[in-house]
Structure formats: structure tokens, C-alpha cells
């Protein structure tokens, strides 16, 4: 009897803890927003459960469809990029895939720049091909090539500015105009620009009022929040931002059917980092320019690939879009160097291995500088005529001292890329 009494008491204790009546007082305010975690969301009545609508953010139905934390992050990202609607996904690649799956169907075709993010090209050659969706690659530096490849089957054109490895900067407004004239959706991978270097929904800066789109605007902005928005190299997340409610609903329903969601703690991390994104982006930018200028003076450098530098592929397009007031343009913390062809792949690899402050790793936008060598020949349909021959090395600047990073570059160059 005593054991039964103890068990009953424990059961009552559990019930009391689970259904404790205390509710904290309202009115708590602090620098950081609250973090709401949920799968199940409670409804006060069955009628309320049947009436609630999650598609327009007017209510909550299930954690996967949104919480106060994710709703808040979505709205702040819209403010960053000039959009009206946003969905959050588990990675930047998930953002690209969600767009493709939402707007394409069997028999359609998608056009992709030849310098696009590699996994986006792999998605087209893999899953999209299996679904009967074809693709073509176009020359990102030739709007006429894009125009010539749009057909009656083209439903989506991907844009990327700048190219994420070879850093070419396309004539983005002209390509958007081409898509508009042909009635084809255009989606921008806006990870490099991050809503700071240029406005994806107002490319000419001619919006009649704040919050309104310009005459030349992309339809969709996909963003790897993994990079600059999170800023720590420890979050995987992406976003898809639009200004058209019907297009947004198409994407949101696909998002729901795929069961995509993000963790509340990851959303919290990005929310915490967003207020400093402009400061960090500018710091990355300044350091990248200092390092790029150093490389420009080195005989081992056959070509500097940084859109803010004269002579780089697409520099004039970067100036027109990002640097309308000369000297004010932003260009992220990413650049590449084509190491002279007289150096072997093994020597270039040894140079990367010999760096002490730069870590070897993919991604960018975090506090630690990164380096990766690439084989451009294996990534393109043909060797681009605007690129010198050699071995490309991409640098992502972190938040370290530019002087310290230059010293690190110098010691590795002297050791592993000596002049003959």
C-alpha cells in the first residue's frame, strides 16, 4: 500500500508540473527577442483549430509552419532585401531547390549561368533531370546569349552576382530586363550581395517610394543565411524572398509539402547577428580589398578576380549597380586569384596548406578567413575567354587584421610559390 501511495503521489506530481497554472507576467522587454520552440501548437477550441490560417502569418498551427521567432526573422530579412514575403529553409541550397521545385514541372526548362554555384548546377543535372525538367547553361557575361537561349519552355532563369568562384559581375539589370520582356521568372542567388551591395528588387534605384519595387527587379531572391546574416560559421539556413503574393504562396505550399523548417535556436542566432551585418560586411569588404591589392602587385598573380578592381571581369557592371556614388560601393569579402600557369597544382595546394591563419574550407562570411583552390576547367562548359590560364584560388576574408593576413600570405608565397 505504501508503494502504491508513493507511485500515485509521483504521478500527481508529474501532472502538476506539466499543467502548472503559473503564467509569467506580460510586458517583458529585452534586447534579444524570445525564442519559441514547438512542434505542437495549442488551440483553445476545436473551432479555433479549424479557423486558424498559417499561410498569411495571422495565426499559429504547427511549429513547422512558423513560430513568433521564425516570423520575426522572416520580416527582418524582408526589410534587409526589400521584399514582402519570406520562407526559411535549412540551407542556401535548400532555398535554390525549393524555388525550382515550386515553379518547375515536367517539360519545363531552367537556364543557369555557367559560373553558378556548383550544387545548383548539380541539382539541375540530377533531380530536375529525373523529373523531366531540362536545363541549359548560358554565358553570364553575355546577355545576348541568355536571350538566345530563352524558349517557349523556359520557366525560370537563375542569376548570380557575383559568380561565387570566379567572381565575374554580370549586367544584372539587362538580364532582368530580358526576362521581363519574355515573361520568364528570374531568381537571383543573392548570397554575395546580401541585401547590402545592391537592392535586388530595385536594381536601378528608381523606386517611387521606400518599400516599393523599382522598374527593374528580380522576382525571387534566394539567400544562404549561412554566410553573412549568421556571421559565425555555425548555422545552416537559407531564405526565399518575394514581393508577389501569388508567387510566394506557390513557394510556401511547396515548402510545406516538403516539410522544410528551421530550428528555433538557429533562427535566434541569425536574429542576434542581423543588427551587425552591415558593420561586418564592410569589415570583410575592406580586408578583402587590402589583400586583393597586395596580390595585384605579386608576380605570381596572373589575374585578380575582384569586381571592385578595374580590369576584373564585369567591373563596369559592378560600378553601375553597386558604386553609383563613386567610392561608396560594397563588394563583400570574397575574391579569387588566378595563380600563374607556371606553378603546378601541387605547388598551389602546398601554398594553401602552408597558410597559418587561413583555414581550408568552403563557405564565407564568418570570422575566420578561408582559402580553397579550384579546378575551373572541370567546372565550366569551356574555359572562359575572360580568364587567364592558371590555377584559381578563392579567398574569403574573416575579421582578422588585414596586416596579419598579408604577412601570412607572404610567408606561404615565398615558401611554396618562389620566383624562378
Could you identify the residue written with the cell 532555398?
95
Q: Which of 30-44, 89-103, 298-312 has the lowest mean pLDDT?
A: 30-44
Q: Which CATH architecture has domain 277-416?
A: Alpha-Beta Complex (3.90)
For the stretch 124-150, pLDDT in tens is 999 999 999 999 999 999 999 999 999
Question: Looking at the predicted structure, is the pLDDT value of residue 210 above 80?
Answer: no
Instruction: Write the pLDDT tens digit of every residue in 323-375.
Output: 999 999 999 999 999 999 999 999 999 999 999 999 999 999 999 999 999 99
What does the alpha-carbon distance between residue 308 and residue 321 come to, in Å, rounded to a whole number? 11
Query: Is residue 382's pLDDT more than 90?
Result: no
Of the pLDDT bands very low, low, confident and very high (cuts 50, 70, 90), residue 209 is confident
Give the pLDDT score at 9. 66
Q: Looking at the whole model, is its pTM more than 0.95?
A: no
Percentage of the residues of the chain whose pLDDT score is greater than 70:
97
Q: Does the pLDDT of residue 1 top 60, yes or no? A: no
Q: Grid coordinates 541539382 are at which residue? A: 123
d(CA 97, CA 109): 14
Of 244, 293, 261, 255, nearest to 37 by C-alpha is 261
> CA dist 227 to 50, 281, 284, 401, Å?
39, 10, 12, 20
Closest to 103 in 3D by CA, of 238, 219, 262? 219
Greatest Cα-to-Cα distance within the chain, rounded to the nearest angstrom: 92
| For range 82-101, the mean pLDDT | 97
Q: Indicate whether 167 pLDDT > 60.
A: yes
Q: What percent of the chain is predicted at pLDDT more than 90?
A: 84
Read off the C-alpha cell for 258: 516538403
pLDDT reported for residue 419: 87
State phi, psi for 81 to the nearest 5 degrees. Answer: -105, -5
- Site of grid cell 526548362: 109
**Confidence check: pLDDT of 5 > 80:** no
What's the pLDDT score for residue 383?
85
Q: What is the pLDDT of residues 257-305, one digit of tens each?
A: 999 999 999 999 999 999 999 999 999 999 999 999 999 999 999 999 9
**How confident is the model at residue 10, as a pLDDT?**
67
Question: What is the predicted pLDDT for the residue at 6?
Answer: 59
Judged by average pLDDT, the poorest of 92-106, 184-198, 308-322, 368-382 is: 368-382
Q: C-alpha grid cell for residue 246?
A: 501569388
Whether the pLDDT of residue 381 is over 90: the answer is: no
> pLDDT band for position 58 (50/70/90)?
confident
Domain boundaries, the chain: 46-275, 277-416
Asked if 46-275 and 277-416 have one fold, the answer is: no
Q: Could you tell me the strand order of the sheet in which 334-340 lies?
A: 301-305, 334-340, 390-396, 370-374, 359-360
* Higher-confidence position of 121 and 1: 121
pLDDT of 195: 96
Q: If pLDDT is split at 50, 70 and 90, which confidence band does 232 have?
A: very high
The pLDDT of residue 2 is 54
pLDDT digits (tens, 9 = 90+) for 169-189: 999 999 999 999 999 999 999
Alpha carbon distance 308, 296 (integer Å) = 13
CA distances from 390 to 105, 167, 216, 339, 345 (A): 40, 15, 37, 5, 9
Quick one: pLDDT band at residue 380, thresholds 50, 70, 90? confident
Residue 308: DSSP 8-state: T
**Predicted pLDDT at 378:** 84
Q: Is the pLDDT of residue 4 over 90?
A: no
- The fold for domain 46-275 equals 3.40.640
Instruction: Read off the pLDDT band of 164 (50, 70, 90).
Output: confident
Instruction: List, in sequence order, the alpha helices (H) in 104-222.
Output: 118-123, 129-130, 143-149, 172-182
| Residue 279, C-alpha cell as written in the block | 558593420
CA of 371: how far to CAs of 129, 353, 409, in Å? Answer: 32, 9, 11
Quick one: pLDDT at residue 3? 60
Please write the tens of the pLDDT for every residue from 323-336.
999 999 999 999 99
> Rounded CA gap, 313 and 81, in Å?
25
Amino acid at each position: 500500500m505504501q508503494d502504491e501511495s508513493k507511485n500515485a503521489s509521483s504521478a500527481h506530481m508529474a501532472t502538476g508540473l506539466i499543467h502548472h497554472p503559473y503564467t509569467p507576467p506580460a510586458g517583458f522587454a529585452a534586447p534579444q527577442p524570445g525564442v519559441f520552440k514547438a512542434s505542437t501548437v495549442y488551440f483553445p477550441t476545436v473551432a479555433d483549430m479549424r479557423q486558424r490560417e498559417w499561410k498569411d502569418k495571422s495565426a499559429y498551427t504547427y511549429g513547422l509552419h512558423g513560430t513568433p521567432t521564425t516570423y520575426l526573422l522572416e520580416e527582418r530579412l524582408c526589410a534587409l532585401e526589400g521584399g514582402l514575403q519570406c520562407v526559411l529553409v535549412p540551407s542556401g541550397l535548400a532555398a535554390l531547390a525549393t524555388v525550382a521545385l515550386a515553379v518547375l514541372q515536367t517539360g519545363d526548362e531552367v537556364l543557369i549561368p555557367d559560373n553558378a554555384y556548383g550544387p545548383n548546377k548539380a541539382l539541375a543535372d540530377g533531380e530536375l533531370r529525373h523529373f523531366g525538367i531540362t536545363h541549359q547553361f548560358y554565358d553570364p557575361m553575355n546577355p545576348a546569349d541568355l536571350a538566345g537561349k530563352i524558349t517557349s519552355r523556359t520557366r525560370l532563369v537563375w542569376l548570380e552576382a557575383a559568380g561565387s568562384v570566379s567572381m565575374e559581375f554580370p549586367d544584372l539589370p539587362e538580364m532582368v530586363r530580358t526576362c521581363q520582356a519574355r515573361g520568364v521568372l528570374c531568381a537571383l542567388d543573392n548570397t554575395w550581395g546580401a541585401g547590402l551591395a545592391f537592392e535586388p528588387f530595385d536594381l536601378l534605384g528608381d523606386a517611387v517610394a521606400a518599400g516599393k519595387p523599382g522598374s527593374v527587379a528580380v522576382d525571387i531572391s534566394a539567400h544562404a543565411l549561412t554566410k553573412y546574416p549568421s556571421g559565425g560559421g555555425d548555422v545552416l539556413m537559407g531564405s526565399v524572398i518575394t514581393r508577389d503574393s501569388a508567387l510566394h504562396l506557390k513557394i510556401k505550399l511547396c515548402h510545406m509539402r516538403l516539410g522544410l523548417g528551421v530550428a528555433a535556436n538557429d533562427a535566434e542566432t541569425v536574429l542576434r547577428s542581423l543588427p551587425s551585418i552591415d558593420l561586418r560586411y564592410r569589415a570583410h569588404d575592406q580586408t578583402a580589398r587590402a589583400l586583393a591589392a597586395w596580390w595585384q602587385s605579386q608576380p605570381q598573380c596572373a589575374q585578380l578576380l575582384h569586381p571592385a578592381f578595374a580590369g576584373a571581369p564585369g567591373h563596369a557592371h559592378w560600378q553601375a549597380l553597386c558604386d553609383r556614388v563613386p567610392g561608396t560601393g560594397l563588394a563583400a569579402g570574397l575574391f579569387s586569384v588566378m595563380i600563374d600557369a607556371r606553378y603546378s597544382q601541387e605547388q598551389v595546394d602546398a601554398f594553401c596548406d602552408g597558410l597559418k591563419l587561413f583555414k581550408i574550407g568552403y563557405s564565407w562570411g564568418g570570422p575566420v578567413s578561408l582559402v580553397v583552390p579550384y579546378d575551373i576547367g572541370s567546372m565550366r562548359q569551356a574555359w572562359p575567354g575572360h580568364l587567364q590560364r592558371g590555377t584559381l584560388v578563392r579567398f574569403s576574408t574573416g575579421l582578422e587584421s588585414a596586416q596579419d593576413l598579408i604577412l601570412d600570405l607572404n610567408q606561404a608565397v615565398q615558401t611554396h610559390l618562389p620566383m624562378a
